[in-house]
Structure 1
Amino acid sequence: MSVEPLRRRRAPRGAGDQLRDEILDAATELLLETGDAKAVSIRSVAQRVGVTPPSIYLHFADKGAMLDAVCVRYFEKLDEEMQALASQAGSPVDVLRAQGMAYVRFALRTPELYRIATMEPGHPGSDVDMMLNSSAFGHLRAAVEALIAEDIYPPGDPTTLALELWTAAHGVAALLISRPYLPWGDVEQFADRVMRSVCCGQVLSAAIGETDPPQETVTWLKEVVDERHR
């Protein structure tokens, strides 16, 4: 039995952006409901909006372009949250750690969208990657640059250091989403321990030579910890 799309009142002239937003809203709702990008089609989105499939193609070349637009809008919201954190008072390392936690929390609030946006095969130069570069990754890189400028982090390529931090945040988020049954304990505390270790670990790396034997480094660090405890 076929289901006819709901009749939608024709939008006034110049209201194309409104229809585009309605399409993205409908696609987002279907993604959250199904948790599977394969279950979302141009036809199902058109039915939910109340238009015909050709109306969708006026705004998006194909399903892939539509889902990319959903992901771009998704990361725009993350951008707003990380901007708010960057403007708060506090040391650069506190800001960086808070941004990493904001990233993880954001992913856990909408795991289906995060999975589709970051765990599906990507392609260089995509709108999604460009949005990530200017939002989440851009904020991490700016925080790293501030830490290098204040001689807290060792001199180096801020892009590489930011990629290391992003890898840690994404790894935590991806595993918590895909393997929720593992014995994580308190998820918030687990994620914070990882971000704290990664952020502070960059400070210690300046004192560790590339050729230093690992055991010597461990012994030195233990002496520092013991001295602080005393």
Structure 2
Amino acid sequence: MAEERRRRSKRGDGDRLGADILDAATELLVETGSAEAVSIRAVAQRVGVTPPSIYLHYADKGALLDAVVGRYLEQLDDALRAADAGAVTPLEAARAQGLEFVRFAVENPEQYRLAMMDPSDSASDVDVVLNNAAFSHLEETVRRLQDVGFYPPGDPRPIALRMLTIVHGVASLMVAKPFLPFGDEFEYADAVISGACLGLALTAGMTEPPDGAEALQLVRDLRGD
């Protein structure tokens, strides 16, 4: 078992113990599929320490789960940066980031549920999502798209939030309903993300998106009908 394999931290080795606690909490979350199972007692047992030792590093279970989310978002940002490293254009970078966001969610479903699908209890939960490095990286990509004229100039955050809404929609559906007939899930994700990026480019600067006959004419003009 993981708790039997884990080497007990040396007395006074606080940084290592803190990392062990975070590892154990993440393992419990992944193995059980439930944040409810990540109790202070269960984490302490897995690490091989007493429950009071956990409180020296995390004030309560909520703080520990917040740390699990924080680590996930840091790892997500690393994955996004690696994914778009070879992109030639900002649009290629946006597509690569969107696909990596979905892939990372599908490969880490329990962490994704906790980070992005649990209801928010306070504004601080919103801050965790919007002020983390992964979202900042997405905002920077929007700025690059604005610089080349793909998106209209202005504050990149509203457009970045729309992009987050799109990729989160794909990722959460694949995590929650993995047996839907997606076909190749990443080809499916790429088609949705690519279409949404183009749709945002056409509507981001509009005060009211076209509807009815105007929308139909716009589509026909784009297709060359």
- Paired residues of 2:18 and 2:57 also in contact (CA < 8 A): yes
Q: Report sequence identity in percent.
A: 49
The structure number with the bigger radius of gyration is 1
> 3-state DSSP class of the match of 1:182?
coil
Deviations 1:57-82 (A, max 9, x none): 11000011011101111111111111
TM-score normalised over the length of structure 1: 0.86
Aligned to 2:64: 66
Whether contact under 8 Å (2:74, 2:134) holds in the other structure is no
Partner of residue 102, structure 1: 100
Aligned residue for 1:125, secondary structure, equals helix
Equivalent of 1:19 in 11, 17, 20: 17
Indicate how the Cα distance of structure 1 residues 158 and 9 shifts in structure 2: closer, same or farther if over 3 A, else same.
closer
- Decide which of 170, 173, 176 is 1:172's aligned counterpart: 170
Contact 2:29–2:111 (8 Å) recurs in 1: yes
Superposition RMSD in Å: 2.4
Runs of 4+ aligned structure 1 residues displaced above 4 Å come to 5-10, 206-209
Aligned partner of residue 181 in structure 2, secondary structure = coil
- Name the structure 2 match of 1:124: 123
- Taking the aligned partners of 1:218 and 1:65, their CA distance within structure 2 comes to 51
Give the corresponding residue for 1:157: 155
Measure the CA separation in 1 of the matches of 2:170 and 2:201: 21
Tell me, which stretches of 5 or more residues in structure 2 are unaligned?
none
Q: Is the 8 A contact 2:22 2:67 kept in 1?
A: yes
Shift of 1:137: 1.2
Give unmatched runs, 5+ long, in structure 1. none
Q: CA deviation at 1:212?
A: 4.3
**How many residues are aligned here?**
221
Map 1:1-230; keep pairs closer than 5 Å. 9=8, 11-13=10-12, 15-122=13-120, 123-126=122-125, 129-130=127-128, 133-205=131-203, 210=208, 212-226=210-224
Residue type of the partner of 2:158?
T
**CA displacement, residues 92-125 of structure 1 (integer Å, 9 cap, x when unaligned):** 1110111011101000001111101111122323
